[in-house]
Chain A
Amino acid sequence: MKRRVAIVGAGITLFRRRMLETPKELSFEASKMALDSAGLTLKDIQSVVSGSAPDAFDGVHMKGEYYLDGMGAIGKPHERVYVGGGTGVFTPIGGWWNVASGLYDTCLCVAEEKMSPLHPHPQYAFWSIFDQILERPLGTTLLWIFSLEMRRYMHKYGIKEEEIAEVAVKNKGNAVDHPSAQLGAKITVDDVMRSEPICEPVKRLDVSPPSDGAAAVILASEKVAKKLTDQPVWLDGVGWTLDSTHWTNRDLAYPEYVEKAAKMAYKMAGIKNPRKEIDVAEPYDPFDYKELHHLEGLQLAGKGEAPKMTVDGVTQRDGDLPVCPSGGLLGVGNPIAAAGMMKICEIFWQLRGEAGKRQVKKDARTGLAQAWGDLMQVGTVAVMRS
């Protein structure tokens, strides 16, 4: 029988384009902050789950073994989980297995990414995720799949670029209040529309930046959590699924794999009507249209209806369904695995009423974090309750 799992502490470093710290040092800082906030030391931690995206950014193979000591994992059961961009939310899911199964009472979950080592640009690493025989010879870049998907989404539902740009305006604006943020800014839809077209219809301000950073949370069993804090945040539902890498054979207007992951998490958490029961959401937003795409996959908006919800202000911090109150990847930054974990941290702080200037207006009791990645094929979802 599975046990209830709580989050009892969280930590995060600054997110920046290029950091002096090594992956080990970044991991240490985020983990130490998470331990301190839970009132624990490393001695209290029984297992460690880490997450980091492609080894190609670092040029260090066996990265999970390399950064191990920064993650506090020496001599402990440790596993590295990996599903590309979905890794950040998959990391606490891995921790959940450790604690829900009854194997351990405490688990440190750390996600780290340094994208900056790769030159001339971190984008280059993504070239190698494409099919080496049928796709790479065409000169692929990761931006292609995003722009192709964005176009299909716009075409299917008659969505305008200006409506999508509202997401970038909201998230970069929210990030102004996030102490870790790399790209917080007050911008307008016009700024987005006039920014450099890099892979049409994708423009520069539709995209999150490459970043370095780390984030961590501490998981505990119910018995231990209740001793540590009177404000545990329960990780009540987890879900994850993947589609095939044959992405050109897929419906690009709707992320079915996100729907499947969400339904798995909702079922586990006993959520019947997500739009009514989820108070605050952090869907994955590496591009502005992806937030909309994911809201629909998560059943938080009808198909093709997320843009209108955004334009109507429903997803603002003072709206009925605040979305990415952190500032998201578009504003806080996108150190791949750490970005997904940043979303878990944000929901943790929101549900404890500790988000400071970013605190959503409504009384948030149930929240959701989601990440996405690989070759447009993975959804990872976590439902959390105060």
Chain B
Amino acid sequence: MSQKITSYQGREITPDEVKEGKYLDIVYKFEPKYSWAAGVAISRFLTELKDGKIVARKCYKCERILVPPRMYCEQCYRPTDEWVQVKDTGTVNTFSISHVGTDARRLKTPILVAVVDIDGASPGMGILHNLGEVERSKISVGMKVQAVWKGSEERQGAITDIRYFKPI
């Protein structure tokens, strides 16, 4: 710090004060509800998931096959041209074993997460998903995996229509 500065402002609320509730605060719980329209590209993507298929959009200019699909190519900045069905197999680009949930609370059973580069899409076109039917110590970058789908009557047009990806 500047050597000239001798005192630093700020009053910490210590862990003990938190535990004993020894500070004045106001508590409020915000419980809003949102309804997000899925959009043009992702509505189609979700509808196809319901049918057990993964689809992408192709841009004729850069020839990339994009997953998740978008109606415009952000690189060429023009509309994409065509729906393309890609495979439900892929390669683990990277993975993690998560011991925490959304709110940072510890989980009893860790979640296995990965970026899976989808076969049939352009190189590096990955999606975020979970891994399953695999021992933690056996997961590796470069591992080939395949989607494990929910039963057709269970599927509802959501990313979770794929339960997880398993090694093949």
Contacts and interface: CB of A to CB of B under 8 A. Distances in A.
Contact of B1 (A144, A201, A355): A355
Contacts of A356: 1-3
A143 B98 contact: yes
Contact of A123 (B10, B66, B103): B103
Interface in B3-49: 3-5, 8-13, 15, 18, 23, 28, 30, 34, 36, 38-39, 42, 46
A279 to B, nearest CB: 19
B58 to A, nearest CB: 14
Query: Chain B interface: which size bin?
Result: 35 or more
A120 B98 contact: no
Given A138-B128, A355-B1, A127 B102 contact: yes
A381 interface: no
Contacts of A144: 96, 98, 113, 128
Interface stretch (B77-85, B119-127, B144-152): B119-127
A325 to B, nearest CB: 12
Contacts of A166: none
A200 B2 contact: no
A152 B114 CA distance: 11
User: In which size bucket is the chain A interface?
Assistant: 35 or more
A29 interface: yes
Given A138-B128, A178-B1, A252-B94, A197 B99 contact: yes
A18 B4 contact: no
16 contacts: A12-B1, A21-B9, A123-B100, A133-B46, A134-B127, A138-B129, A139-B111, A144-B98, A152-B115, A179-B5, A197-B99, A198-B100, A199-B97, A200-B99, A354-B1, A354-B2
Interface of A: 10-21, 26, 29-30, 33, 37, 59, 116, 120-121, 123-124, 127, 131-135, 137-141, 143-144, 147-149, 151-152, 155, 178-180, 196-202, 213, 244, 246, 248-252, 349, 352, 354-356, 358
